[in-house]
Amino acid sequence: MKNAVNLQPSKLLDARVESLRRDLEAALVAVDVLPERLGSRLTGGLRNELSLALNELTAQLVKPLAAGDIYPGDAWARLHACQLQSAALTAHTLQLVSGAALRVGNSATTPAAMCVVADALGDEIVSRTTLGGWGSFTILGSDESYIHSSRAIVVPFPTQPIWTISIVAHELGHFAARSLTEFHHGTSHNLVDELHQRQAGAFPWYWVEELFADAFATWTIGPAYALTCVSFSFDPLLANIPSTTHPCNSLRVDLMSALLSRSINSDERSVATMIAGCWESLVSASEADPATSETETRATAQLVEACLTVLDRLPEASYSSQSEAGRLSFNLSAENLKLDTEIRDVINAAWLARLRAKNSIEIDEINRRAIRLAEVVATGGSP
Amino acid sequence: MEKTVLHLRLENLSAQLRDASQDTWLASLNLDLVASSIHWQTAMKAVSGEAEDLAVGLDEALKDLSKDPSTAAAAWHLYFRTKARSDDIFREYLMILGGLALRDRMKNELICPFADELIRECALSVGRPTSFAIPAFDDAISSTLRRVARIAFPDLNLWTLPLVAHEYGHIVLRETQLEKLVKELVTDGVRAPTLAALNELRQSIGLPSNLRDFGAKWITQAEGAIYTAPQILQQMANSLAMLGEDSPPRVQEIGAQLTELLSATTTRVRVLLADAFATYTCGPAYANAAILLRLSPAQPGSRDRPPDSSRADTILAMLGAMGEGHGGPQRFQQTEAWLRSAWEMSTTSIDVPADDGAAAHIEIDADYVLDRMRFLIPNPKAEYDQENWNAATNLGSKWQGQIAAGETLEVQSSASLRDVINAAWWARSLVLSKFDVETVDSAVSRIVTAATACCEKRVEVQPDADGGVFLRKSHRPPVGEREHSNGIRPVR
C-alpha cells in the first residue's frame, strides 16, 4: 500500500492542546499590535489573563502529557475546562482588537468617531476620583457593557452620539465598584461589597452593582445620564420586570431621581421631578405590566443613603457645574467655551437645549453642534 | 415629554435602520480594503432588506401616531418588537464591519484571502454567488441574515482553513435545493415525538362534546403534516376562537412545545448538513481540521448545536460513503480509519455528556445524504472526487519525499485550493508518522510554506472581475518579506 500511514490516536489530544496554546499566543500577539494610540492606554489586565491561561495550560496539560503523568479521561476534562476559560478570553480579545480596528480615520462620520470623545469623558471622570486610572478605551458593540479583563467600555452601535455618551459613566461605575476600596481595621475592604452587605440580602449583589453604577453615573455626570436612560435606553414595557442581571427599570429611575432631587442645584431638582413624572407617564402609555408584590420598584431610602455613603468619599467627582451647562446651552459654539469647560458640561448643555427645542430639526442641530464642541474639548483643539 | 420620547425612539431607530440598509457605515470607514460592490451587495442583501422592511414599519407607526395619539400603546409594542429584531441586524453589521476593519489592519495576513478563494471554488461548484470571510468569534449561533463566512479568531492558520467550508455550507443550505433535504431530515427527526405529543393531546384536549370531532379532525391533519403541525394547531385555536370557544390550554402548550422542538431540531440538522457539505466539497482536509483541531468529545449538545460526537460521526460517515463504490481500495480509507480511531480513543477515555433533549436526536444516514447531495447539486465537480484526491496525495507525497531528501518543495500554481489544503494535510500525516520528533516541526513548517505559496499563486492568478472580492488600494509586500512559522501568521 502506497505510503502507509500510522498516526497514533493519542496525537489527537496533543494536537488539541497545541492548537489551544497557539490560540492563546495569537491572542497575545493581537493585543500587542493594537494601534499605538490605543495600545498605550491599555493596562496589563487582558495580557495577564491570557498569560495566566497559557501558564495554566502548561501546568495542567502540556507538562503532564509530555511526562505521561495523566490519565486520558482527566486530560480531556482539563482540556475542556481550559477551552471554556480560553473561549471567554479570546472572545474579549476579538472584541477589543476588532473594536480598535473600527476606530480608524479621523472623520467625524465614522461609526467610532464618538469613541474619541467617550475616552476623554472616561478620563475626565476617573481623574476626579480616587481610582488610580482607567487604563483602557471605548469600543463599539451591540450592547453597552464593561469588559473586566481589558476594562474596555462597549458603547452601543449604532448610537446617537451626544444623547447616549453618558452611558460611559454607568459602565465606569462597574470599574469603580470593583476598585473602590478603603483600608481600615488592618485590611482592605471593597466599598460596594460593604454596601451589598448592608442591604442584608434585599437585592442580589449584581443588582447592587448595577444600582451603584447608576448612582455613580448620576453623581459624576448629573442629569444627563438619567435623561439618556428615560429617553433612549429603558424599556417602559418592562418597567416592573427585572432581568437576571438587572433590577427593574422603575427601581433604577427611582434611584436616579432620588439622588438628583438631593442636589443643591435647583435645575437638577426640577429635572428630577420631570424625569420621574415622565417615566410614570411612559409606563402608563405603554400599558406595562403593573408591579407585583414580589417586585421591588421603589428605591428604599436606605439604598439611596448607602450609595451616598460611598459616593460622598468622591466629592471632587460630583458634577457641580450645572450652571456652566446652563450658560453653554444657550450658545453651543466654540467661542462660548471657557478654559475649564468639561465634556460633562457640553453633554448637560446639549440636554438642556434639547428640552427647550421646538422640533426635530432643532434637535439635530443641537446634536451636531454639541458633538463638535465635545470633540474640541476632548482633543484640546482650537475652537 | 412622554409623547416626544416615543416619537424620538421611533425616529431614531428608523434612521439607524435606514443607515444599515444603505451601507452608510461601510463607506465612512474608508478602509484600504475595497469590496467589490456586487459581492458586498450580495453578502448584505438579507441584512439590508430586513433593515429596510423594519424601517418602513416604524415609519407607518409614526404616521399612525401623528393621526391618532391613542395608538401609543400599540406603537410601543411595535417599537420593542422591532428593536429586538434590529439588535440582531446591528449585531450582524457590527460583526461584519469589525471583521473587515480587522482584515484591513492585518495587511500581511493571507488566510482571509485564501478563505475567500476557497469559498469561491465551492460557490462555483454549486452555482451560487460567492461570499467572503471575516475573522470572528465562533459562537455557534447561526443567523439567517448572514451571508458572510466566519473564520474563528485567533485560529487563523492554514490547518483550520478548511473549516470555512462549513460556514459557507450554511449559506448553501438556505439558498439551494438542499433546503428540501433540511426539511426531510427535520421531519424524520421530529416525527416520533410529535406524534406522541399529538396523541397525548387527542386524549386530553378537554373540548366540549359537540366540538370533539372538530378537534380530532385538526389533530389528524397535524399528524399527516408533521413539519407544519405547530401552525395547524394554531389554526385550530383560531378556528375555535371564531366559534366563540376558548382554546384549551393544552393546545397552546403542545403547540409551543412542538414549535420549540422543530426550531431546535432544524438548527441541529443545519449544522450536521453543513458538516456533510464541507466534507462533500473539501474532502479529508475538512475532516482532519474538524476532528483533529475543532470538535471536542466533551462538548455536549445544546439548543443551538448538536453534540460534537454527532458531528464527528456525520463527517466520518460522509467520508466513508464518498469513498465507496469505485472498485479497489476505498478512496479515503486510510484517512477515515485513523481519524475514526483517534476520535474513538478520545471518546472512550471520557464520559461523553448526555444530550440535553432540547431537540430530536438526529443520526445522519450518510449514504442517503450523499445520494441527495449528488442529485440536488447538479455539478458533479462539486464533490471532492478521485481526481482531486489523486492530485492532492501526489503533491503531498512529493512534498514528504522532497523534505526527506533535503530538496526544495515544489510550488504548483495550477492546483486548486481544495487540492492544496488536502495535499498539506496528507503530507503532514506522512511526516508525523515517518519523521523523528526532532525534525517534525521543521518539516511541518516547510509544508506550510509550500502550501501557502501554492495558495498565493492560486489567488494571484484569479481575475479580479471573476473571483476577487477585495482589492487593496495600497501595494502588498512580496512573498519573501513575510515570515511563516508552523502556520501561525502574526498580525503585523
pLDDT tens for A222-262 read 999 999 999 988 989 888 888 888 989 999 999 999 999 98
Do the Cβ atoms of B130 and B469 come closer than 8 Å? yes
Is the pLDDT assigned to residue B356 strictly greater than 80? no
Which has the closest alpha carbon to B113: B388, B411, B458? B458
* pLDDT for residue A256: 94
Which candidate from B2, B293, B344 shows the least CB-CB separation from A278?
B2
Chain B CB contacts of A7 below 8 Å: 338, 342, 429, 432-433
Q: What are phi and psi of A181, to 5 degrees?
A: -135, 160
Q: Which ranges constitute the DSSP H helices of A103-190?
A: 113-127, 161-164, 167-179
Cα–Cα distance for residue pair A32/B247, rounded to 1 Å:
61
The answer to whether the Cβ–Cβ distance between B94 and A16 falls below 8 Å is no
* pLDDT for residue B37: 72
Is the pLDDT assigned to residue B489 strictly greater than 50? no
Which candidate from A12, A231, A355 shows the least CB-CB separation from B342?
A12
* pLDDT for residue B477: 45
Q: Could you tell me the end-to-end alpha-carbon distance of chain A, in angstroms, rounded to an integer? A: 79
Cα–Cα distance for residue pair B472/B311, rounded to 1 Å:
37
Do the Cβ atoms of A365 and A108 come closer than 8 Å? no
Would you say how long chain A is, in residues? 383
Cis peptide bond prior to A64, omega within 30° of 0: no
Q: What are phi and psi of B485, to 5 degrees?
A: -150, 105
Task: Quote the strand ranges of chain A, DSSP E.
Answer: 138-141, 145-147, 152-156, 181-184, 187-190
User: For residue B454, what pLDDT band results from cuts at 50, 70 and 90?
Assistant: very high
Cα–Cα distance for residue pair A75/A98, rounded to 1 Å:
33
Chain A CB contacts of B12 below 8 Å: 160, 232
Using left for φ > 0, alpha for ψ between -120 and 50, and beta otherwise, residue B301 falls in beta
For testing the chain A interface, which of B100, B153, B339, B434 should be mutated: the one with the most A CBs within 10 Å? B153
Angstrom distances, CA of residue A321 to CA of A47, A309, A336, B188:
38, 22, 15, 68
The answer to whether the Cβ–Cβ distance between A104 and B101 falls below 8 Å is yes
User: For residue B485, what pLDDT band results from cuts at 50, 70 and 90?
Assistant: very low
Measured between CA atoms, the residue of chain B closest to residue A112 is: B29
Q: Which one is predicted more confidently, B490 or A348?
A: A348
User: For residue B44, what pLDDT band results from cuts at 50, 70 and 90?
Assistant: confident
Cα–Cα distance for residue pair B275/B279, rounded to 1 Å:
6
Measured between CA atoms, the residue of chain B closest to residue A17 is: B293
Cα–Cα distance for residue pair A87/A343, rounded to 1 Å:
37
Cα–Cα distance for residue pair A156/A232, rounded to 1 Å:
12
Residue A132, helix vs strand vs coil? coil
* pLDDT for residue B100: 85
Angstrom distances, CA of residue B360 to CA of A83, B17, B271:
27, 37, 14
Residue B426 CB contacts under 8 Å (≥ 6 apart), including other chains? B284, B335, B392, B393, B395, B396, B397
Which candidate from A76, A111, A158 shows the least CB-CB separation from B349?
A76
Do the Cβ atoms of A237 and B80 come closer than 8 Å? yes
Extract the C-alpha cell encoding A157.
452601535
Chain A CB contacts of B153 below 8 Å: 30, 90, 93-94
Residue B45 CB contacts under 8 Å (≥ 6 apart), including other chains? B147
Chain A CB contacts of B28 below 8 Å: 105, 107, 109-111
Measured between CA atoms, the residue of chain B closest to residue A71 is: B349
Question: What is the tens place of the pLDDT at every residue in B459-482?
Answer: 876 554 444 567 666 644 444 444
Residue A58, helix vs strand vs coil? helix
Chain A CB contacts of B334 below 8 Å: 1, 4-5
Burial class (CB in 10 A: 0-12, 13-18, 19+), B296: middle
Instruction: Tell me what the mean pLDDT of segment B403-419 comes to.
Output: 91
Is the pLDDT assigned to residue B452 strictly greater than 50? yes
- Eight-state DSSP code of residue B304: T
- Eight-state DSSP code of residue A186: T
Task: Write out the H or E segment, with its range, that includes residue B6.
Answer: helix B2-21
Cα–Cα distance for residue pair B392/A55, rounded to 1 Å:
38
- Eight-state DSSP code of residue A146: E
Task: Write out the H or E segment, with its range, that includes residue B136.
Answer: strand B133-136
Cα–Cα distance for residue pair B96/B150, rounded to 1 Å:
9
| Residue whose entry in the numeric block shows the C-alpha cell 446617537 | A160
Cα–Cα distance for residue pair B345/B231, rounded to 1 Å:
45
CA-CA-CA-CA torsion sign (A288, B11, A160, B102): positive
Model confidence pTM above 0.90: no
Burial pattern A28-55, b for ≥16 Cβ within 10 A else e, equals bbbbebbeeebeebbeebbbebbeebbe
Least confident of A106-120, B81-95, B259-273: A106-120
Which candidate from A6, A23, A93 shows the least CB-CB separation from B433?
A6
- Eight-state DSSP code of residue A313: T
Extract the C-alpha cell encoding A53.
491561561
Extract the C-alpha cell encoding B248.
384549551
Chain A CB contacts of B29 below 8 Å: 102, 104-105, 110-111
Cα–Cα distance for residue pair B112/B155, rounded to 1 Å:
11
β-pairing verdict for B470-472 and B33-35:
antiparallel
Question: What is the tens place of the pLDDT at every residue in A89-139?
Answer: 988 898 898 888 888 765 556 666 788 899 999 999 999 998 877 889 999
